[in-house]
Structure 1
Amino acid sequence: MMDWGLLVLVLVAIAIGFALGRRSTRVPENSDAPALEPHYIQGLNYLLNEQPDEAIDTFIDALDVNTETLETHLALGNLLRKRGEVGRAIKIHQNLLARPGLGSEQSRQVQLELSRDFIKSGLLDRAEMLLKELVETTVHPMRTQCLEYLIEIYRDEKEWQTGIDMINKLPSRRFSRLPDEWRLVQSHFYCELAEEALRRSDYLAARRHLKAASLADKQSARASILLAELEYRLGQYKEAVKALKQVFYQDPALLPEALPLLITCHRATGRLPQLRAYLNELLEQGASTPVVMALAELMAKDEGVVPAAKFLGVSVAKSPSLKAAEQMLSLQLAGYQNPPESMALADTVIRRLQKASPQYRCHNCGFAGQHMHWLCPSCKTWGNVKPVE
């Protein structure tokens, strides 16, 4: 059965046939130009016999490089890159650049495709060199494409400040504001710089980067969580709480990331009753399972495990959750001196299920894992990985 790559090759073959047909109509009958149709027919035979590699080589040999056929060569290179044959794609594009007949605009188009080959093959330094040259010599929209590829390179190389500089060169709209998608990326780049600063205890730099992150994206829950960590390290517990309380309004799905430090700060200041009142307010505003679990933990210490387990049971009945069920059973077992064997067995099973279940999931591509990733390892989008409730 013919796969998608062969199907694309069929379309490319049709395009080549069309180009050869146009060429043949322009060749005088008494011309000594070599007939190309046999090469084309041979390529089709390879294609129909599901020999795509031989077909590609034949089509490339059969087709001259000119204004009319350049797109066909580029399509073949793109096909090879998508099939993972990056070396052959690079060869096609480098051979195109060596042809003297290419115009400056065509040459830049080939250079862009070659830079994509280099990115695909991990030759980021070579891609960067090509793209930086193109940024200086092209105009929109190709210049924008080059900048976007450079931003991806600096993201992968963790050169956050250089990536920010590239983002600032993108075309802006609406009173010189960057498009929202790039403001989001820029905010995460600043957060990465802030995390690096926190690791080396450079709190002034961390605060500066977090301020820039919030200016780029006012809805950045990540910036609020990091700011809270900074304030906590400095002993500014009230300021840390203030930052953490923003998370519910910025991205409620990230509350589980904020709650542990929120509880720690309230304990440090002896304000657990105020925390409990705040969590009840969040429940009234539609907060979900993580808030219920935090409340149950506080209730168990204040009122005992039985009321806390009952409170959790009501929540689990309304919104089933393995995490909440595990906590509920744990509280129930704590209320027994000799717990029933069936209950202990159920607790063991739920713990195993919970341990095997992903703790985080990307809302964009479905990637699942046990650890938080601000940049999804699968689809490479920012801020789409959320805790699983």
Structure 2
Amino acid sequence: KLLCVKCDATLSQSVEFDISAPCVSPWTASYGLTDEQKEFQKVAFDFAANEMAPHMAEWDQKEVFPVEAMRKAAQLGFGGIYTRPEVGGSGLSRLDTSIIFEALSTGCVSTTAYISIHNMCAWMIDTFGNDEQRERFCPDLCSMEKFASYCLTEPGSGSDAASLLTSAQRKGDHYVLNGSKAFISGGGDTDVYVVMCRTGGKGPKGISCLVVEKGTPGLSFGKKEKKVGWNSQPTRAVIFEDCAVPATNRLGEEGQGFNIAMKGLNGGRINIASCSLGAAHASVLLARDHLLVRKQFGETLANSQFLQFKLAEMATKLVASRLLVREAATALQENRADAVSLCSMAKLFVTDECFNVCNQALQMHGGYGYLKDYAVQQFVRDIRVHQILEGTNEVMRMIISRNLLTES
């Protein structure tokens, strides 16, 4: 056994590590949390260590969508974390949600990121749907008996989401959809699709939101995409060809879709930043463990002041990122005026800095870090896309600067 020189905790190697070992420095993850938050944080860390981390590499290499593992997570309340309890959700706050997603991501970023998207869809139906829609869709989503996908991006409209072209023409008591969505997480394997489509003229005011159920005639899917990371969740195009959707599946009124999409994304940006925190958290631990046991030039790497300083910088970036995410989560929960800017800042800063932390952890592993036997490379691959999705980090800069320049 390898023992930590600080506290005699058993150290782990390769893809296996004990996230709850004494040297995790609980103050970094639990600082400022209530006793209740610490409890469900521990539940999430334990689930990550026991139900996710041992399978993370296999899910990645075999491209497994771990349905049963996610349903186990749902039994702990993680299928509808910030959906209301009346329809099966946990009714927790945005801060609570961030704490949970960070902890789960230490076990598998890709799977947790999908769970975060699923949660966003359940919340959108719960928040903007009517009572009939909430009661019809939310309980099965919260239990993860059914899974959801978010459909905004199109082949020709990524960052410029307001230019989307998927059309929904009203014909009697149905809308007829035509068009396609790109890069849809869970596409083809999920049951419920929250779709932004054009029911009116150009621009954001012509967009509405429909819930499309798998099996609807005219709904089909493209090939499964081959990705650098995020391999435990399938990604496909979602295609609509004269797809007739009941008008009763529209969330809100016509023309409210873009507003619904953006409100969903504000929370989604915090969620994905939280997943980046989990990857960085795990990578700092892996790097620390490696420095303590790897010898070069007759002594362990932990004795190198250069590497000590690098590790200190990584831990500092992690804690600073965590504090920013939690502040943004609190602002969104309280519906503060600065919430949109803070969500954008959190997404920008945290996904950039946490990627740098993971990448530095890989570098500290030397050649071993480039082997798939070592978990650090998967954290690097899985976290890279966080700088692109939920609004690219370039778009985050646009939002932040625009808000600054229009302040009175």
- TM-score band w.r.t. shorter chain: under 0.3
- For normalisation by structure 1, the TM-score amounts to 0.25
Higher relative contact order (CA 8 A, sep 6+): 2
Larger Rg: 1
Return the structure number with greater strand share: 2
